[in-house]
Structure 1
């Protein structure tokens, strides 16, 4: 199982309370599932900032041109399926460094 987390799960951002709470809940549910079902691989991944419509709407004055698009991050998620590391929370930045 791969869940899409966020740094909002562990950092407090003004006006992102509901979003952060749902991501924190996903992290906790994933962690519990990993413990309860040790035969499963459960990964929850923080993709980092991405050039999305959601972020553009939330930060209308930010220049997002230097951020990766989701399709640039997706291959990092697929790397988990190839390598099958231990269950846990991962970041796209950490997966990128593991090349």
Structure 2
């Protein structure tokens, strides 16, 4: 009779922790998922694409370029809609992701 509360507490702990563990895994993949929108032109993980490679570029430099694209007119380049399609936080995650690629 005394074992049930202990087992129940253990089970409850697992049930309560599962969403947090799942979210931690999702957050770890968020940056790559966001950056995957760049893979079509800049290559998978920012390597070997038709346009400039992004892998290993400095994070702040990339953020500056993306923010400059956001300020240009809509017809300036194909990058305008892409840069405007993300929040500043998402752009930060994308730049961070590419800066860590070799």
Normalising by the smaller structure, the TM-score range is under 0.3
The structure that has the greater radius of gyration is: 2
Structure in which a larger fraction of residues adopt helix: 2
Bigger proportion of residues as strand: 1
